[in-house]
Amino acid sequence: MIGQTEKRGILLVAFGTSVAGASNAYDSLQKQIQNLFPDVEIRRAYTSNFVRRKLKSEGISILSPASALAGMADDGFTHVAVLSLHVIPGYEYHDLLMIANAFRRVPKGINSISVGGPLLNSHDDYVNVTKAIKDFSSGFLNSGDVLVLMGHGTSHSANICYAGLQEYFRRLDDSILVGTIEAFPSVQDVIIQLKQRKASRVWLMPFLTIAGDHVINDMAGDKPNSWKTLLESEGFEVMVNRTALAQIVPVVDVWLSKISF
């Protein structure tokens, strides 16, 4: 539009976390993105109402995607690249698409809104992410160790992404297994696999954007049904690596490649 100056912004949208310290991973990811777009303002929103309410009760205000986009329209942004920091195209991602679509129809709003992400959305994403995880884990895995990645899991049909991910890993490195907290494959499925291959030492690592409550409690906690406890009770030696996806530079590069104006 003649006479109008372009104002570009990036909106990072994540599920969110209320765990103090866990959001550091968002900070490092944001820094990596800012380096690539030094002149572009980056804002952040959380999709989880529960997390935002909990943070609010602690005096921390984080916007929802809709509030963030409304604010960016008010502040004169003409081009906004929304980046979904979700892992698979499940409910949170599809909700985000609907919100972005709604804002595209707002008169005198943002001229252009793109939505990139989530992490696993194309063949190349799977190839690049599995390679990045293999390279990263080669820094701590010894021969004979098995790496078990803990994904979230969902009742959304996109849950099949985890079985797909497992197939990409199988072709790349047979010592990496994928499980989920809430769906298929379950930790019990993982245990069956570990027994079949007579594993002795197992590393647990999150396949989650950040290492929040699920990592502290469900993966590495001491409660009876944590993955660490369950695997130990099956006789495996369990090691833990709490590095989350947003902390692995080549994984963040996959997210970065999805930003476009």
Report, as residue numbers or ranges, the catalytic residues. 152
Q: Which residues contact 164 (CB under 8 A, 6 or more apart)?
A: 120, 126
**Contact present, 121 and 89 (Cβ < 8 Å):** yes
**Contact present, 132 and 250 (Cβ < 8 Å):** yes
With tokens 């692995």, the residue in question is 248
- Beta strands at 79-84 and 8-14: parallel, antiparallel or unpaired: parallel
Six-digit token string for 199: 């594993």
In angstroms, rounded to a whole number, what is the distance separating the alpha carbons of residues 260 and 212? Answer: 29
With tokens 């996109």, the residue in question is 158
